[in-house]
Structure 1
Amino acid sequence: MTTVLIAAHNEEAVIGGTLDGLLTGGSAESLEVIVAANGCTDGTVTVARRRSVEVVEVAAAGKAAALNAAERRATGYPRVYLDADIQLDKAAIERLSESLRPAPGDSGRPLVAVPARTVDVSASSRWVRMYYRVHALHPSYATGLFGRGAVAVSEAGRARFAEFPEVIADDLFLDSLFDETEARHLDDVVSVVVAVRSTRSLVRRLARVRRGNAQLRAADSAGVVRQAVGVRWLTAAVRADPALALATAVYVAVTVVAEARARWGRGHWESERNGGVIEP
């Protein structure tokens, strides 16, 4: 049985739709769904319990502690770590799970699988849309496990770590555990990440992600965490498509401001949806 683990902090507005998708369609096989409601002050717990899924309440806000609490209740494999605002239906979860079984001719068993991703910028400002137009070209997305809101891990893959560390960048942590030969990227399963609306929100969330990535890299004595890439890919993108020049300028400006905020601004560590903003 596949287990889906969802850390949810004040997700009353979205958790119902996410759970409804998981509980309908697909095959007759059931899913084990565990919602770890952490530090919630809204109706997240009530909405989740109406769907007859298992709910674990964690007093303090924090995604790592929430996932670890859910893990202590989990019994099935593979395990799918799903963000509360990412709506994948049961058939998509089953496809992720099935992909972890070796196909004929495979030399090794895959340990982790992720969906393709698209960013919904329909409600975003012009500047945010321009940022994401360039962000979609970031080379790390070709092989990385982050920024998709869903990661499926086999039982053998889950044995790679004892529990989630107290870091913000949980998906970058998972990315550090597997090499490219152990991962499957599925084109036929797509997670839709809803972008933030304003440039101010984009900078705030990007700064938080950059702090989280820096935190994880600082603790990486083994040198296994994916490092940030340089800017050559930006230059190559503009050369290939000069029409990207203005969007690239917006991307660079947002990134510089976010980096300054991450380094010197007053940050906060509470749970916050990332809006698809991952800067490896």
Structure 2
Amino acid sequence: MPVASVVIPAHNEAATIGRNLAALRQGLGGDDLEVLVVCNGCTDETAAAARQADARARVIEIPEPSKVEAVRVGNAACDVFPRVHLDADIELSGASILALLEPLNAGRALASAPDRQVPRDGCSRWVSWYYDVWEQLPPVQSGLFGRGVVAVTAQAQERLSRLPDLLSDDLGMSDSFTAQEREVVSAAVAIVHPPRTLTDLVRRRIRIVTGNVQASRAGVRRPSSRTTWGTLAGLAVARPGLAIRLPIFLAVHVAAALGARKALRAGDFTTWQRDESSRRPTP
């Protein structure tokens, strides 16, 4: 029996799905994972790339370009628990998956996520400065969101299945659990490739701001996952070296909030603003 199932929604991820699937098999036997790649509304060669990268993975193709629907289809197609929800542009080793399963199998947590590694290679100075601040925010350090990976028990999956459709699905998953029910596992590491340009960073943040507002309106978001002015002031005092970077962080936040206005006025919580720079090979 596989030790876990992995559901990977993938929309036009031909450039990333190979590295994603290759990493999953590192540190595990060939049949230790049930891997499902759900290609949704792809207009590139994502499905072919997935089949070529891992002949043991199941590849399902659906016509609708919807991550929510892809996750729903993936969940319905497998019954192995614990279950790992993994974004297609994330790199997570099989050894890290085993570490994520430990608190779930031991009954210490209902949901777990790995530490994140955000490589700055090829990023502009402003993007690097933004992430220097972002990674130090207490909600970012303690929450399961922004990692591209969440592992859950069968009980936790039942809870997630009752969530409304959310643009910021990882925030919804994280805030479905109390601090005592979730765990960030330091022995597991996910490589999260950031945008490389300021324009792409703002585009990604517009989506996140929009999704955060949607989650708040739906009553899903917890107060503990919010970053306040007091949080930033406390960070500046505790980490004086970040003070010079805070104006860049705030400028990106303001630009994203302004950029999200149109979607929020229209109630558009389905348009997926994504950056392509993080999906290109490192120069």
Alpha carbons of structure 1 residues 15 and 225: separation in structure 2 relative to 1, 3 Å: farther
Match of residue 63 from structure 2: 59
Q: Distance in 1 between matches of 2:98 and 2:186?
A: 14
Q: Distance in 2 between matches of 1:178 and 1:271?
A: 27
| 2:241 pairs with 1:237 | no
1:98 deviates by 2.5
Note the aligned Cα RMSD (angstroms).
Answer: 2.3
Q: 2:43 aligns with which of 31, 41, 45?
A: 41
- Native 8 Å contact 2:87 2:148 kept in 1: yes
Unmatched 5+ residue regions in structure 1? 103-107
Match of residue 154 from structure 2: 155
Alpha carbons of structure 1 residues 273 and 54: separation in structure 2 relative to 1, 3 Å: farther
Query: Which stretch shows the higher mean deviation, 157-166 or 73-82?
Result: 157-166
Q: Distance in 2 between matches of 1:48 and 1:109?
A: 34
Match of residue 80 from structure 1: 84
Match of residue 92 from structure 1: 96
Match of residue 250 from structure 2: 252
Deviations 1:75-100 (A, max 9, x none): 20000001111111111112212231
Q: TM-score, normalised by structure 2?
A: 0.88
Alpha carbons of structure 1 residues 86 and 227: separation in structure 2 relative to 1, 3 Å: closer
Unmatched 5+ residue regions in structure 2? 279-283
Q: Distance in 2 between matches of 1:232 and 1:125?
A: 28
Identity %: 35
Match of residue 145 from structure 1: 144
Q: Distance in 2 between matches of 1:261 and 1:209?
A: 11
Query: Which stretch shows the higher mean deviation, 124-133 or 21-30?
Result: 21-30
Tell me which amino acid in the other structure corresponds to 1:118: Q
Q: What SS does the corresponding residue of 2:165 show, helix, strand or coil?
A: coil
Deviations 1:123-165 (A, max 9, x none): 1101111111111111102321100111000112112133663
- Native 8 Å contact 1:203 1:257 kept in 2: yes
1:238 deviates by 2.0
Aligned residues: 270
Q: Distance in 1 between matches of 2:18 and 2:119?
A: 20
1:109 deviates by 4.0
Q: Distance in 2 between matches of 1:170 and 1:273?
A: 17
Give the alignment of 1:1-280 within 5 angstroms. Answer: 1=2, 2-27=4-29, 30-50=32-52, 51-52=54-55, 53-102=57-106, 109-162=108-161, 165-220=164-219, 228-264=226-262, 269-270=271-272, 272=274
Alpha carbons of structure 1 residues 132 and 271: separation in structure 2 relative to 1, 3 Å: closer
